[in-house]
Amino acid sequence: MDLDFTPQQQAFRAEARAWLHDHIPTAPLKSYDTREGFEQHRAWEAKLAEGGYSSVTWPKELGGRGANLIDWLIFEEEYHAIDAPMRVNQNGILLLGPTLMEFGTVEQKARFLPRMARCDDMWAQGWSEPNAGSDMANIASKAVRDGDEYVINGQKIWSTRAVFANWLFGLFRSDPQSVRHHGLSYLLVPLDAKGITIRPIVALNGKQAFAEVFFDDVRVSIANRIGEEGQGWNVAMATAGFERGLLLRSPARFQRTAQRLVELYRRHQASADRDPSIREGVLKAWMDAEAYNLASYYTVGRLLKGGRIGAEASTNKIFWSELDLQMHETAIRILGPRAELIDDPEVRDWLEGFLFAQAGPIYAGSNEIQRNIIAERVLGLPKS
């Protein structure tokens, strides 16, 4: 692996850094789990699209920049180094977008991707159900074929961004006689369709990060199906691979958090050093973030030579979710009793990050499920 950047890559970094410096919002945006904050982030995403930075690896004709994955890693480093706002349309641009690139028809790509890149459409996830969370093959929501439409009935839960988004992608059982991962279809559903009810779920931080979505005879065109009828599981596993692998959690995000953790430690070193394990935790976080970054460059180099990400996405997911949790737990230990002072700007970001990090080992497929995948598909161990 060549760790030196080419002159073209260095020029791209300089261009991205200058653009971000000139266009980053002058004041912090409100949480995108509020209506006002959601619209602020939407405007920021549109600004990114104007600059060609909303989805740097997509083809230009579909709203991207036509760059490769190394450029994407470079852009992410510059994006997080300047503490740019978190991306509100992650579900669309980082999960559904790559899925459409691989499985969508020409018409579907032209219809959905440019609007996604500009954030004209905001996307929610529709995976989990009350009895199908980590065990997604247990999905029960039905999509019964009626001519050129599907009629959907059922319920989704923990649907990220569903409170404010206008589209949802998800799996539905199109063969009522099927079981487990057979007979599922991957559908795109407009959230303003007749028969949809959205009920917000309040998260630990008091905001509406998730929602329950109820479907009562909701009609969706078959043109909204990604992949073949009954083959949705394969499409969904590709989406899950993007979520667990590189795209959703770029290494630069964790490198910046590790850097902030070192800065926090230095500001409170006198009190933090009373417990030597805190210093060890800070060092471990920094080294793990650097290791994840190097591993990501290695993976991207392999992908650019025609390789694919398989079950190793599960290893990535365990690593970044536990790293994120460990960094925020260490920060809370450094802050000590101050960690409860939510009005303190220094504390607020760490505390909210700590609360969010609790979910990391659960979402995108629980880490217990990921360890099973590694045991069976990577190590070849027998199923329990």
- Mean pLDDT, the chain cut into blocks of 10 residues (384 residues total): 87 97 94 93 94 93 92 96 93 92 96 95 93 83 97 95 95 92 96 97 85 97 97 90 73 96 96 95 97 91 83 87 96 88 81 90 86 89 80
Q: Using alpha carbons, select from 181, 183, 185 the residue that is nearest to residue 169.
A: 185
Identify the active-site residue in 243, 312, 352, 376.
243
Fold of 123-230: Butyryl-CoA Dehydrogenase, subunit A; domain 2 (2.40.110)
Helices (H) and strands (E) in the chain, counts: 13, 8
CA atoms of 167 and 192, how far apart (whole Å): 8
pLDDT at 136: 81
Q: Using alpha carbons, select from 161, 160, 205, 139 the residue that is nearest to residue 362.
A: 160
pLDDT at 340: 76
**Which amino acid is present at 127?**
W
- Whether domain 249-379 has CATH 1.20.140.10: the reply is yes
Q: Are strands 123-126 and 167-173 parallel, antiparallel or unpaired?
A: parallel
Beta carbons within 8 Å of 248's beta carbon, 6+ residues apart: 90, 94, 95, 242, 364
Residue 159 in tokens? 């649907």
pTM: 0.90
Q: Where are the domains of the chain?
A: 7-87, 123-230, 249-379
The answer to whether residue 322 is catalytic is no
Residue with tokens 């217990």: 368
